[in-house]
Structure 1
Amino acid sequence: MSRPSTKISELRLDHVTREFGGVRALDGLDLTITGGEFVALLGPSGCGKSTALNCLAGLLPLTGGTITLDGRRIDTLQPEQRGFGMVFQNYALFPHMSVRSNIGFGLRMAKVPKADARRRVDEAIRLVQLEEHADKFPGQLSGGQQQRVAIARAIVLEPPLVLMDEPLSNLDAKLRLEMRTEIKRIHQTLGLTTIYVTHDQEEALSLADRLVLLRQGRVQQIGSPEEVYTEPANRFVAGFMGYRNEIELPVSQVNEKTVVLDGLGGGLTGVRRDDLGERVVAAIRPEDFTVGDGPNATEITVEVVEYQGREQAIQGRTGDGVDLHLRADARLAPGDRVTVSVPPERVLVFAAESPAAPEEVA
């Protein structure tokens, strides 16, 4: 399939706000996206990510702010005037139309000449690898195949922007992995500009060039997957991105970059990430613990073991009653007493009053 002729240079969201009954579902979103970028809007349910996508699509009017595409304001345009491609969670295919007809529907509505439309539909079918299914109906396809049809229908229009709203959430785990690879391949092949909504951290990390992490309508962090994963901006981002251990402890010593905390064995040293009070929260990923002696060593009693193939997921408890979650290659059993350690640079220390919202981190 040829590269889109409607390449964009820049999409800008300036203080985009959307209220529902006086409640701000989206609160002053500022974001600039360059042509060819894959940006994921990430966060828990109700954080504002789908609201942002619907504002971009024109399905929701803005309460405040502006959206401009290459310097032209578009938030006042109707959805069909924006010309964006949309891929929905529920596929939204016409059950009485064949794969070929579903993909070509938008081209017919746009009155694209038949020969050109046929060529573009054929190219889209090849791109999503559905040549053998072109004359089937949606009901004859698997979930993954139906989602490929929905993607082909969006890209066949050669849109300046593709919007994807949780497109893989209805698929099983194996299909999600396969379709994730397909979406990445199609994006790279066509050089599309894509905005992708998901609540799945792994999905966002694997697909996106940049992540926009939202909470209660406000941006918490914008950055590359590596930046957000390794350098979370606050305690909420850390919790959402997998820092499952959040241990509240008193401060023993504060240096410019490091903090020494009382508790957890002989004390815990970590990296300072906040202005700190007397009590703080140390955030640690389960996979950053090592079974064996080392820095920040403490002894735990194994309580719960979950088999996960080459690894075990382990919940243990320290002598002073702190529950720890870790992953280990070593085969452990409930009741085992082992020493675990974690490098200080893998321990992020936040103020205890920083918002954690654990009920949202699901």
Structure 2
Amino acid sequence: MSRFSTLRLDRVSRSFGRHAALKELQLEIGGGEFVALLGPSGCGKSTALNCLAGLLPLTGGAIWLDEQRIDRIAPERRGFGMVFQNYALFPHLTVRGNVAFGLKMARVPKADIARRTDRALEMVQLTGHAHKRPGQLSGGQQQRVAIARAIVLEPRLVLMDEPLSNLDASLRLEMRTEIRRLHQSLGLTTVYVTHDQEEALSLADRLVVLRDGVMQQVGTPEEVYGRPANRYVAGFMGYRNMLEVTVASADGDRLSLRLAGARLTGLDRDGLTAGGRAIAAIRPEDLDVAGDDADGRIPADIEVVEYHGRELAVQARLSNGQQVHFRTAGRLAPGDHVELAAAPERVLVFAPDAGEKPQPADEPAKDVPRQKAATP
């Protein structure tokens, strides 16, 4: 496997007519790193991946692999492996035939093809299915074939475009572990596109959050999850409650806030001052029914209660009409009145114009048409 030190996207841009799908993306990826491009549908993440793969030409910028500029090199000469959302398997070939296909096209000697194919099938635990055709496999097994077909080429970079979005919940969890295991055991460099923040957090060494083709934040999962750069990133990383508040006073980075006739304390993210409007971002799991010793008790009326096993997911309404979501292990029912509280370090406070709350991340992106299997 050909190693490299740095993959660099230097102000990479891609437009479709007047629409700029990617705007001057600046990013460095180290050899052996797992980087996830994260964002809602249409944010530009699949466009970025297809530019890396060579499936889309750039309209601006350059891509460098160490000292070699590669954006002008044909896709098949870049030495990258790609795993598509729709698997793109050849239905008339066996599992072994699908995995070996790229090696045959590269005119690898037959003995090497057999050895490398056997090893790839063993690594994805499909040795016993080598004689089957894709239609005889489950969705998770088909995805394993697609991964084996990519890694058998011993690529210097693996590109994965929403590879788990077509699987059910249990298979997604299983395949997440499998992908991370393969990345670590083979020393791969991986760029992974997803709209699922939990998936990105569990897999990646670094996250790149995109919005309308512009990078909003890049950092470790811990940095992006715990210290979102702006209100948009906060909303996408699980801060579902975006509550309009007034800043009552400021003490360093601690703000005292007025909300629905109550007081709330939070952390200043945008240099706010007393008297102004702001947005308090709180995750549902960080807002709960107030205990006897809690500060900042916010009155709310329960509207919807959903059973989630060990806890309830609750939608409530504040006295000023704002809606809130929280989780609790207690028993609640629609119509109940409660008082809510959140620890100050779990309340992030942004300027009201510091970014809109993103679209719900419930649909995979479709930045460009997916690739279909060709006929060998």
Q: Do the structures match in fold with TM over 0.5? A: yes
Rounded Cα–Cα distance in structure 2 between residues aligned with 1:27 and 1:254: 36
Deviations 1:194-228 (A, max 9, x none): 00000011110110000000000000000011110
- Which residue in 2 is equivalent to 1:230? 226
- Which residue in 1 is equivalent to 2:175? 179
Rounded Cα–Cα distance in structure 2 between residues aligned with 1:318 and 1:22: 43
Kindly indicate whether the alpha-carbon contact (under 8 Å) linking 2:284 and 2:327 is maintained by their aligned counterparts in 1: yes
Kindly indicate whether the alpha-carbon contact (under 8 Å) linking 2:40 and 2:358 is maintained by their aligned counterparts in 1: no
Counterpart residue identity of residue 198, structure 1: T
Alpha-carbon distance, 1:8 to partner: 1.7
- Which residue in 2 is equivalent to 1:289? 287
What is the aligned counterpart of 1:194 among 187, 190, 211?
190
Q: Is 2:182 the counterpart of 1:156?
A: no
- Which residue in 2 is equivalent to 1:328? 328
Q: Is 2:16 the counterpart of 1:23?
A: no
- Aligned-CA RMSD value: 1.2
Alpha-carbon distance, 1:265 to partner: 4.3
What is the aligned counterpart of 2:48 among 38, 48, 52?
52
Rounded Cα–Cα distance in structure 2 between residues aligned with 1:101 and 1:126: 15
Distance 1:217 1:360, change over 3 A: farther
Distance 1:360 1:309, change over 3 A: closer
Distance 1:360 1:311, change over 3 A: closer
- Which residue in 2 is equivalent to 1:208? 204
Deviations 1:255-298 (A, max 9, x none): 32111122244311110001437211000000001323213222
Unpaired stretches in structure 1, ≥5 consecutive residues: none
- Which residue in 1 is equivalent to 2:370? none
Rounded Cα–Cα distance in structure 2 between residues aligned with 1:301 and 1:106: 60
RCO greater where, 1 or 2, for CA within 8 Å and sep 6 or more?
2
Q: Which moved more, 1:248-257 or 1:279-288?
A: 248-257
Kindly indicate whether the alpha-carbon contact (under 8 Å) linking 1:239 and 1:361 is maintained by their aligned counterparts in 2: no
- Which residue in 1 is equivalent to 2:9? 13
Rounded Cα–Cα distance in structure 2 between residues aligned with 1:263 and 1:248: 7
Q: Give the secondary structure class of the aligned counterpart of 2:335.
A: coil
TM-score of the two chains, using structure 2 as the length reference: 0.93
Distance 1:211 1:358, change over 3 A: closer
Rounded Cα–Cα distance in structure 2 between residues aligned with 1:304 and 1:356: 25
Paired residues, what number? 358
User: Superposed, which structure 2 residues align to 1:283-362 within 5 Å?
Assistant: 283-293=281-291, 294-359=294-359, 361-362=361-362
Deviations 1:12-53 (A, max 9, x none): 111001111022110010110111100000001110000000
Q: Give the secondary structure class of the aligned counterpart of 1:262.
A: strand
What is the aligned counterpart of 1:74 among 53, 57, 70?
70
Q: Is 2:125 the counterpart of 1:113?
A: no
- Which residue in 1 is equivalent to 2:90? 94
Kindly indicate whether the alpha-carbon contact (under 8 Å) linking 1:296 and 1:344 is maintained by their aligned counterparts in 2: no
- Which residue in 1 is equivalent to 2:38? 42
Consecutive aligned runs of 4 or more in structure 1 exceeding 4 Å deviation:
none
Kindly indicate whether the alpha-carbon contact (under 8 Å) linking 1:213 and 1:237 is maintained by their aligned counterparts in 2: yes
- Which residue in 1 is equivalent to 2:240? 244
Alpha-carbon distance, 1:88 to partner: 0.2
Alpha-carbon distance, 1:360 to partner: 5.3
Rounded Cα–Cα distance in structure 1 between residues aligned with 2:38 and 2:4: 23
Distance 1:358 1:158, change over 3 A: closer
Rounded Cα–Cα distance in structure 2 between residues aligned with 1:263 and 1:10: 48
Alpha-carbon distance, 1:247 to partner: 0.5
- Which residue in 1 is equivalent to 2:133? 137
Rounded Cα–Cα distance in structure 1 between residues aligned with 2:338 and 2:20: 48
Deviations 1:40-87 (A, max 9, x none): 000011100000000000011111111111211101100001010000
Counterpart residue identity of residue 130, structure 1: L
Counterpart residue identity of residue 292, structure 1: A
Rounded Cα–Cα distance in structure 1 between residues aligned with 2:156 and 2:285: 40
Kindly indicate whether the alpha-carbon contact (under 8 Å) linking 1:265 and 1:297 is maintained by their aligned counterparts in 2: no
- Which residue in 1 is equivalent to 2:367? none
Kindly indicate whether the alpha-carbon contact (under 8 Å) linking 1:244 and 1:325 is maintained by their aligned counterparts in 2: yes
Unpaired stretches in structure 2, ≥5 consecutive residues: 363-376
Kindly indicate whether the alpha-carbon contact (under 8 Å) linking 2:81 and 2:157 is maintained by their aligned counterparts in 1: yes
Counterpart residue identity of residue 346, structure 1: R
